[in-house]
Amino acid sequence: MTIRLRPAHRLPSLIAAATLVALAGTASGAPHPKPHAAARKPAAAAQPATTTDANGVSVPVLANKAWVLMDFNTGQILAGSNADEPLPPASLTKMMTSYLVEQGLKSGKLKPTEPVTMSQSAWCEGGKHGDSCMFVPINTQASLMDMLRGVVIDSGNDAAKALAEHVSGSESAFAAQMNAEAARLGMTHTHFENSTGLPDPNHKASARDLAVLAAAIIRNSGEYYPIYAEREFTYNGIKQGNRNELLYTDPTVDGLKTGHTEEAGYCMTVSAKRNGMRLISVIMNADSKQARADQTRVLFNWGYGNFEEATPVQAGATLATAKVLYGVAPTVTAGVAQAWTLVVPKGRAAAVQTAVTLTPGLEAPIAKGAVIGKVVATAGGKPLGEAPVVALAGVERAGFFQRIGQRVSGWFSK
């Protein structure tokens, strides 16, 4: 059974919902005691090159190996290039390192003040190899929260290795934990060999997967996410600036991570929130710090300039009434368990239409929240996505004689 509903009006975004349609198809470096040039001075506003996607949307063309722009609330990919190609992620790797530590803190398995030892194998040797370092002296200890800041703000390889050894006993065991979590999050084009992102032929991640990881940090590590926006951190008398260039030029940016190796080029995962809409950008293998910052600005300006969020279906609203066989009630109301949010081209929110399809032959008992159909959203005849329709109330199974009566009544009604 298909029921047509009136066009949905523009409504505020309430919660995240999965979407099925896309609109387009550093581990090393010297410490930064202060913002570098790209952070201090925004690039000139040049018009980026664009191309047109299958939906007629003008999409930026960027000079890198891969990029993606994701809406946080919905998980919807607004645009991307080579989004699923596994590439060296450099220090973007450390997002998974910090995420696992944050989740350990959240669960209580780890404590903010517990001491973490800087072992010989984790030590940076004073940064003489040009590594990004927190500069914790060898065989000394720092608090777990200081080490976490050393990873997120300083991009310290020493801090990442020390935390890996502290959590799992060895960096290789921690890498196994990283891969298990990546699989759980649905990062299907990613494989980790270490906690830092230092080059390894088997150490790869895709732009889309890194956006998924960034979204997980924002969603699941809320108490610790503000660390990603901290501009500097001082440890052992050494003050280092956050390597995220956009933190210094864009007040809507609040994370996440940069990376660079010769193999990976200049990489960047950034999140910004404007007028309640959060976007996540991933740049991989840009030519310079300036390029990765400029390209991220282009993506945010393009995304916020061309898209808006719409909520075509509110939580608990009755979308349809489904017939129920052999229940104490003959029908059950149907709707969505959570408000359903989509991202649509600007100006098209009011044009979104929805259609509900219910599962035929529903029989009691039906539990509240049981999936009994789906709702599909379209705009201008083009599909935007779909969401499960659930029973808004439970229906118990009728007694034996009541069921017999319903069966007999059904024969005569035919």
Q: Is 413 an annotated catalytic residue?
A: no
Q: Interior CA angle at 139 toward 135 and 141, to 5°? A: 70
Of 28, 81, 155, 195, catalytic: 155
Residue in 401, 94, 35 with CA at minimum distance from that of residue 217 = 94
- Cβ-in-10-Å burial (0-12, 13-18, 19+) of 70 comes to buried
- The position carrying tokens 């949905």 is 8
Strand 232-235, strand 238-241: pairing: antiparallel
**Whole-angstrom distance, CA of residue 288 vs CA of residue 303:** 23
Q: How far is CA 129 from CA 155, 157, 235, in A?
A: 15, 11, 20
Of 13, 28, 81, 91, catalytic: 91
**Whole-angstrom distance, CA of residue 196 vs CA of residue 319:** 49
DSSP 245: G
Strand ranges, E, within 184-276: 232-235, 238-241, 253-261, 265-274
What are phi and psi for residue 291, nearest 5 degrees? -65, -45
**Whole-angstrom distance, CA of residue 106 vs CA of residue 100:** 10
Residue in 186, 225, 221, 220 with CA at minimum distance from that of residue 206 = 186
Q: Is 155 an annotated catalytic residue?
A: yes
Of 65, 94, 161, 289, catalytic: 94
Torsion of CA 229, 147, 232, 264, to 10 degrees: -70
Is 404 within 8 Å of 38 (Cβ atoms)?
A: no
Residue in 232, 260, 240 with CA at minimum distance from that of residue 32 = 240
Q: How many C-beta atoms surround the C-beta of residue 5 within 10 A? A: 15
Q: Is 281 an annotated catalytic residue?
A: no
Grouping H, G, I as helix, E, B as strand and the rest as coil, residue 211 is: helix
Q: List, by residue number, the catalytic residues.
A: 91, 94, 155
